Chains A and B, each alone.
Chain A
């Protein structure tokens, strides 16, 4: 049992380190994402990275055909198109007078559709070593390297530090943006900071759970934590913990069978935690209601 829970196998340990680092960071960042009512922003950013990845591959191929899949270039491409996706939603709601959900649907379709078309193009290029690009769809946790884990550690530390450092202001942004503005802090700037945090987690998550499921690792642990506690501080702590646990359990389970999608199982583990939290939360509220009635 212990051996299963704490694997000795080097590769499994590397993958575990990588997925749990990102799972924890996503859990913490997700708290303010859902409290701001912007859960779908994570979905947009995730899907909108696709054309950036394909574009980065094309650029990389033009520069150096032997090494088209350069990681820094892919990160830059994903960051740029992810940000463009989020920016387009904001522009559509402000300027075109669209409601949030319509703007989200349009941008998601446009970027993901455009990305998919670009992808097909890339794969038909003669001699294109595009193998592996498709893995960003559902993540490529199983092929994670120790060097990737080092990058993820930096990402996790930066994301968690940013959320903790901006905790007061982000709390006020989510609770009462008008009061925040009256106190001389810019809601727009803080929304951008939050979007930048989510973008960082999402792009790193491409290498772990993939662009389709990254939103789930942001939202599910936070939603679970909200069911367990009514305090923002505990919610941040628990959401990080749930994100860690989901990634840990999911990675172990997927490693126990060949070719099981790590991202998919991590999200299933997150969902199991959410269901448990929901049951606990409902029971807790019932008890509290009974105590008041007595």
Chain B
């Protein structure tokens, strides 16, 4: 494993569902310590690209390397935050137990969650402001709180690369603020984040780089060069006015 290897390098990733090509020939390489937004219209294959990279869906073609290695060799350095809507929030566990799930791999087969693990889970929850909810049944949390619990579960793992699927979806302003603060703290700590994002208006405020996707790569690079009006138009298949591009909702406090 080389020290300079990219946190995530994807070459020619193709994912097919039956006859439908959800992601086609996607290639990009993440730079360490950057926040990258994956942006594109509905059905552009944003979530699928993330899942394909992680091996959660069958990959038709492509070479994927995490830190220059196979994912199975560096799993502890990679954390995944699935879409909040992907799970049943009526499940009989507490918020703290969900965060502890981020440690299950490290704890290993057959072993139990100890007090030391619980303390680490609490510390991760403090970073996103939900430590006081640790004993709460997850159904009793608001959407924003649930999202922050999901982020804490990824944080407790202590990974270097984070793949997040729409953490900003349907959250309140307070949670959006908390996520934005968390992202900048992560960047300061040298972490790399790849995040599926929907709100075009906030892309240039929150992120360093953009991966514009519409089943195949439209553009990739720094926000200034890879997120121009023409590129957005090309990705979304028509001219699109981004309302309030200079005054994002979450940053307007």
Residues of A near any B CB (own CB < 8 A): 35, 165-166, 168-169, 171-172, 174-176, 178-179, 181-185, 226, 229-232, 235
| B80 (CB) vs chain A CBs: closest residue | A182
B109: A residues at CB distance < 8 A: 165-166, 169
Q: How far is the CB of A33 from chain B (nearest CB, A)?
A: 14
In the complex, the answer to whether B91 meets A168 with C-beta atoms within 8 Å is no
A179: B residues at CB distance < 8 A: 80, 82, 101, 153
Contact of B86 among A35, A178, A185, A226 (CB under 8 A): A178
Q: How far is the CB of A18 from chain B (nearest CB, A)?
A: 29
In the complex, the answer to whether A184 meets B72 with C-beta atoms within 8 Å is yes
Q: How far is the CB of A27 from chain B (nearest CB, A)?
A: 15
Q: How far is the CB of A281 from chain B (nearest CB, A)?
A: 12
Q: Given A182-B56, A185-B105: A171 and B51 within 8 A (CB)? A: no
Q: How far is the CB of B70 from chain A (nearest CB, A)?
A: 11
A243, B86: Cα distance in complex, Å: 32
Q: Given A178-B51, A179-B101, A183-B105: A229 and B56 within 8 A (CB)? A: no
Q: Given A168-B113, A169-B104, A172-B101: A178 and B80 within 8 A (CB)? A: yes
Listed A/B pairs (14) with beta-carbon separation below 8 Å: A165-B109, A165-B110, A168-B107, A171-B97, A172-B104, A175-B98, A176-B82, A176-B86, A178-B56, A179-B101, A181-B55, A183-B104, A185-B105, A226-B92
In the complex, the answer to whether A175 meets B91 with C-beta atoms within 8 Å is yes
Contact of B91 among A165, A169, A174 (CB under 8 A): A174
B94: interface (CB < 8 Å): yes
A99, B107: Cα distance in complex, Å: 36
Q: Which one of A35, A166, A168, A229 has the greatest number of beta carbons of chain B within 10 Å?
A: A168
Contact of B137 among A168, A169, A178, A230 (CB under 8 A): A230
Q: How far is the CB of A132 from chain B (nearest CB, A)?
A: 41
In the complex, the answer to whether B92 meets A184 with C-beta atoms within 8 Å is no
Q: Given A169-B109, A184-B75, A232-B92: A175 and B101 within 8 A (CB)? A: yes
A182: B residues at CB distance < 8 A: 54, 56, 78, 80, 82
* 15 further A-B pairs in the complex, CB-CB below 8 A; given A168-B113, A179-B153, A182-B54: A165-B109, A165-B110, A168-B107, A171-B93, A172-B101, A175-B87, A175-B91, A176-B86, A184-B72, A229-B92, A230-B92, A231-B93, A232-B93, A232-B97, A235-B92
A171: B residues at CB distance < 8 A: 93, 97, 101
B137: A residues at CB distance < 8 A: 230-231
Q: Given A165-B110, A169-B109: A178 and B92 within 8 A (CB)? A: no
B98: A residues at CB distance < 8 A: 175
| A31 (CB) vs chain B CBs: closest residue | B92
B88: interface (CB < 8 Å): yes
Number of interface residues of B (CB under 8 A): 28
Closest 5 CB pairs of A and B: A182-B80, A230-B137, A183-B105, A184-B75, A176-B87
Interface majority SS (helix, strand, loop, mixed), chain A: helix
B94: A residues at CB distance < 8 A: 230-231
A229, B93: Cα distance in complex, Å: 10
In the complex, the answer to whether A35 meets B92 with C-beta atoms within 8 Å is yes
In the complex, the answer to whether A35 meets B55 with C-beta atoms within 8 Å is no
A171, B93: Cα distance in complex, Å: 9
A183, B108: Cα distance in complex, Å: 11
A229, B92: Cα distance in complex, Å: 8
| Binary interface encoding of chain B residues 88-124 relative to chain A, with 1 for a CB under 8 A from any of its CBs, else 0 | 1001111001100100110101100100000000000
A178, B139: Cα distance in complex, Å: 20
Q: How far is the CB of A64 from chain B (nearest CB, A)?
A: 42
In the complex, the answer to whether A178 meets B82 with C-beta atoms within 8 Å is yes
Q: How far is the CB of B212 from chain A (nearest CB, A)?
A: 25
Q: How far is the CB of B138 from chain A (nearest CB, A)?
A: 9
In the complex, the answer to whether B93 meets A175 with C-beta atoms within 8 Å is yes
| A187 (CB) vs chain B CBs: closest residue | B56
A232: B residues at CB distance < 8 A: 92-93, 97
In the complex, the answer to whether A184 meets B80 with C-beta atoms within 8 Å is no
B75: A residues at CB distance < 8 A: 183-184
A174: B residues at CB distance < 8 A: 91
A235, B91: Cα distance in complex, Å: 11
Q: How far is the CB of B47 from chain A (nearest CB, A)?
A: 10
Contact of B92 among A168, A185, A231 (CB under 8 A): A231
A166, B110: Cα distance in complex, Å: 6
| Binary interface encoding of chain B residues 119-157 relative to chain A, with 1 for a CB under 8 A from any of its CBs, else 0 | 000000000000000000101000000000000010000
